[in-house]
Amino acid sequence: MRPYDPRVTDAAVRFGLVGYGFGGRYFHAPLIEGAPGATLAGVVTRSPERRAEVEAEHPGVAVFDTVDALVAAGVDAVAVSTPAATHSEVTDDLLRRGVPVVCDKPFALDADAARASVELAEREGVLLSPYQNRRWDSDLLTVRRVLAEGGLGEVLRFESAFERWSPDLAPPVAGAGLLRDFGSHLVDQALFLFGPVVRVYAETREVEPGFENDFRLLLQHEGGMRTHLSGAWRQSATGPRFRVTGTEGTFVVTAAMDGQEEALVAGRTPTSEGDDWGREPQEAWGTLHRGDEHETVESERGRWDSYYAQFAAAVRGEGGVPVDPWDAVATATVIDTARRSAVEGTTVDVPPVRR
């Protein structure tokens, strides 16, 4: 294959994908394939079952046994969607080869490993971005709009929950425990909305050491804002996805989860849905409460489809990556502190993230 020339802006950026489990199959491959300016050029998987799925779902896309073979074939960027414990190893290997990387969450198992990858990317001059696709959830985008409009008055408290029901006692080992898995999204969203965290109090329930199936976090941000985050794997009665309380009102989203994941699992994609992609049905819209008065608030359109288009543009030299990799270090630092808090049973100060 020809080498990629960023001056040729009409050429699609060729993405490789390492891993074709649930995340690779549903959260990466269809979004890469449908992103303007990007194309899915190859997938790494050794599983015969996964290879058959790639061939059936993405005809003509090459399948490789190793990262070496993928890179040798010629790709311009790679998305890493392997088990969490391998993220840092695979990411760092690609960075040393000079290949731009998108790394799925959890970006790393701890803040030290996250920092090492980010500093490596900077030394090598290679693009790196954590895959925090849920910054483009419909409900989070709606919360951002409600906050920007100021109708809640002074915001006092932010509550956010990822709670699901599963017949299995524990989440898959590949996710490295629920605090790292669900918590990576919840903490990133809180930092994205309200900035750095200075203190954490955490409670977790572990099914085995280091692998939680339930957690609750209380974060105190700089300036005093408090956020309450919870994740549960076996919750029969899920709580609201968001509740944002201010001096003049409260905004609540009761729908359990943004619908883009469900759509992708069902085989619908941004390519197949067009302008309907990411639109939530009215029954999933949030409600703004002011005492006895309440009004339904139309949801923003979900935009998971924007991530890979922006990363492809960054590879072409047309702007920055979708998510600053240092944000992954900040998220990992909060999660590390939360794990310490849960063990010690006390509030713990969060060390500052210095670049």
CATH of the domain at 253: 3.30.360.10
Residue 4 lies in a domain: no
Residue 326 lies in a domain: no
Q: How many domains does the chain have?
A: 2
Residue 338 lies in a domain: yes
Based on the domain organization, do 27 and 91 belong to the same domain?
yes
How many Å apart are CA 278 and CA 284, to the nearest integer?
12
Q: Which two tokens stand for residue 229?
A: 């985050």
Based on the domain organization, do 243 and 297 belong to the same domain?
yes
The reply to whether omega before 106 is within 30° of 0 (cis) is yes
CB 341 within 8 A of CB 347: yes
Based on the domain organization, do 33 and 118 belong to the same domain?
yes
CB 107 within 8 A of CB 132: no
Based on the domain organization, do 255 and 277 belong to the same domain?
yes
Q: What pLDDT, on the 0 to 100 scale, is given for residue 301?
A: 97
Based on the domain organization, do 114 and 140 belong to the same domain?
no
Based on the domain organization, do 88 and 185 belong to the same domain?
no
Residue 79 lies in a domain: yes
CB 330 within 8 A of CB 191: yes
* CATH assignment at residue 104: 3.40.50.720
Type of residue numbered 222: E
Of residues 319, 296, 297, the one with CA closest to residue 306: 319
Q: What pLDDT, on the 0 to 100 scale, is given for residue 10?
A: 58
Residue 284 lies in a domain: yes
In degrees rounded to 5, what are phi and psi of residue 345? Answer: 70, 35
In order along its 355 residues, the chain shows pLDDT tens digits of 334 444 444 579 999 999 999 999 999 999 999 999 999 999 999 999 999 999 999 999 999 999 999 999 999 999 999 999 999 999 999 999 999 999 999 999 999 999 999 999 999 999 999 999 999 999 999 999 999 999 999 999 999 999 988 887 777 777 788 999 999 999 999 999 999 999 999 999 987 777 788 999 999 999 899 999 999 988 888 889 999 999 999 999 998 789 999 999 999 999 999 999 999 999 999 999 998 899 999 999 999 999 999 999 999 999 999 999 999 999 999 999 999 999 999 999 999 998 8
| Bridge pairing between strands 242-246 and 38-44 | unpaired
Based on the domain organization, do 263 and 282 belong to the same domain?
yes
How many Å apart are CA 92 and CA 98, to the nearest integer?
10
Q: Give the DSSP per-residue string, 307-321.
A: HHHHHHHHHTTSS--
Based on the domain organization, do 292 and 247 belong to the same domain?
yes
Residue 253 lies in a domain: yes
Of residues 292, 354, 284, the one with CA closest to residue 326: 354
Based on the domain organization, do 110 and 52 belong to the same domain?
yes
CA-only gyration radius of the chain, Å:
20
| Residue 139: count of CB within 10 angstroms of its CB | 24
Residue 122 lies in a domain: yes
How many Å apart are CA 24 and CA 321, to the nearest integer?
20
Q: What pLDDT, on the 0 to 100 scale, is given for residue 2?
A: 39
Based on the domain organization, do 224 and 282 belong to the same domain?
yes
Based on the domain organization, do 244 and 315 belong to the same domain?
no
Based on the domain organization, do 78 and 182 belong to the same domain?
no
Q: Which residues does 180 contact at the CB level (< 8 Å), separation at least 6? A: 84, 106, 109, 335
Residue 325 lies in a domain: no
How many Å apart are CA 207 and CA 338, to the nearest integer?
17
Of residues 315, 272, 321, the one with CA closest to residue 37: 315
Residues pairing with 80 in the sheet? 18, 103
Residue 251, H or E segment:
strand 250-253
Residues pairing with 157 in the sheet? 226, 245
What range does the domain containing 254 cover? 134-303+334-349
State the residue for tokens 């985008």.
Answer: 141
Q: What pLDDT, on the 0 to 100 scale, is given for residue 3?
A: 41
Residue 261, H or E segment:
helix 260-265
